[in-house]
A and B are shown apart, each in its own frame.
Chain A
Amino acid sequence: MQRVAIAGAGATGLAHAELLASIDAAELVAICDIGVVAAEECANRYGARAFSRAKEMIEEAEFDVLDICTPTSTHIELIKAAAAARKNVIVEAPMARTSVEAQEAIRLCSEAKITLFPVQSRRWSPEYKKLHDLVASGAVGEPVIARLSHETTHPSGWDDWYADYRRSGGVVLGQLIHDFDWLRWCFGKARKVNARGLYDRGIHFVDHALVTLRFDNGVIAHVEGSWAKPCNSECSVEVAGNSGLLSFDSSSSAPLRFELRTVENSGCSEIVSESLLATSPLSGALEHIIGCLEEGRVPDVRPEDGYEAVRIGEAALRSITTGQPVVLT
């Protein structure tokens, strides 16, 4: 049985708590949040202990795994604390705000001989896994050029931390980190990154970026990330190779749609579309890591994967800031 303590009772932490509760080999024993009410509510629901400070929780609670669901910029301190206490770590993506922090996290966890698992949940998204497997099986021949996009409304979180782009890394780190991870998974090492975006433009609650990557194997990739949509969330992937083309678009993949007549405004109707899956990518990721910890297996996603994704994101942010392409050495 893996006893889990969650840091952060925001939307992400609560989602983790709910999924962990459904995993037999996991037990939620503690949750902390500086908004202690949210932590208490969650703790009561799952029979866990609530804390207002992570430090206290790590010192006082009896647990095996620290599951970090706090704002990105706080990840490194929590990983340090977990390493000092010799607790295994699950950390939401991006695993750290900077590549230096990510590197330090890896070093500390390795020295403490604990597992560090970055939640790169795309690997458990069935559409992205299928796309990856198709590419790997040669469905398009040699892959040549890929296009990914992930566009959503602006995320909201405690203290509006997402909107503080210095802290969150904006859409590039907060969202495209998953696309970078998927691209690495498919095409290997990225060599050069060129990006333009709104990261340093001081626009409130709107972020958007266009990132071009060149991989060592010659593949060119274009990634669009948006936190500028007024409504709906959409993602798409296209991979063109020398003998075929794969394309996926979430907006044309919804197996269920509703049109609802609103009572207040009978002339108007609202369309709700859903992408349905029995299990979420996040639950796949959590089940995987809990299973690995239980059985002493090496997880499919290594800390280095989390680090490399952060490094690409950081290069994209630097390119946005300087207007120059960044070579990854």
Chain B
Amino acid sequence: MILLIIKILSLVFTLLVIIKSYLAFRQRQESLAMFLFWSITWLAVITVAFYPDLVTTVLGTKRVGIGTLLGVSVVFVYFVVYRVYVKADRIEKKMQDIVRQLALKDHFKEPEKPIKRDR
């Protein structure tokens, strides 16, 4: 029963992500490489969800099993979350700086500073 629920959830999430990624690709919000990356990643996830024995067949039974794969996956997911957090934090700080500088500039009517442009 639990395995069936996991399979259904995996299928729903995979379809959602692939459809969203495809729509973003169609609307040119996402590159082809990004669309292919997410599609292949989620197809791999759903393959493992439907055929868990495949892991043992591919990786062997002695040292590398489903547990190891899960461990590596968790590390990868945490790395991605950390990267996203750092990026979001950086963007938030920049946005705050811009909003605050604009408020001060509006009030003190500073002369425009020349923008340095790369040649």
A binds B: no
